[in-house]
Amino acid sequence: MIISYQTRQLRDEILNDFLLQNKFPQEVVKRLKFYLSILSAADNVSSTPLNETFRFNGKYLEIDLPKNLIVLFKIANCNLKALEDSSYDWSKVNRLQLLSIGLLNDIK
């Protein structure tokens, strides 16, 4: 799966361990890297071995991290259409954009 980032700053923070570890505790960094690896290795969101731990909210994917933090992604498939009930067929989602990492109340 392809993962992009909403901003260059967010991408740089995620890819630079030094910046990431200065911003978040080590247990958060480990879990974040683990989930990014799992998602990157999968063909689509539904084929990940941990998809039952994800929350699907419309076109958004939320993943809980330690310290009451969440990672928020949105579907980045340009031509993927919502189903009649406004949900999405996550087995067809093969592109995500990481929007933010933070406390649930701060990022919504």
At 105, the pLDDT band (50, 70, 90 cuts) reads: low
Q: What is the mean pLDDT of the chain?
A: 88
- pLDDT score for 15: 87
DSSP string, 9-20: HHHHHHH-HHHH
The answer, yes or no, to whether residue 56 has pLDDT greater than 60, is: yes
Rounded to 5 degrees, φ, ψ at 105 are -65, -25
The answer, yes or no, to whether residue 6 has pLDDT greater than 80, is: yes
- Whole-structure pTM value: 0.87
Q: What is the DSSP letter of 39?
A: H
The answer, yes or no, to whether residue 77 has pLDDT greater than 80, is: no
List the alpha helices (DSSP H) in 1-108.
8-15, 17-23, 26-41, 104-107
Neighbours of 2 (CB within 10 A): 11
- Per-residue pLDDT, averaged over 3-31, amounts to 90
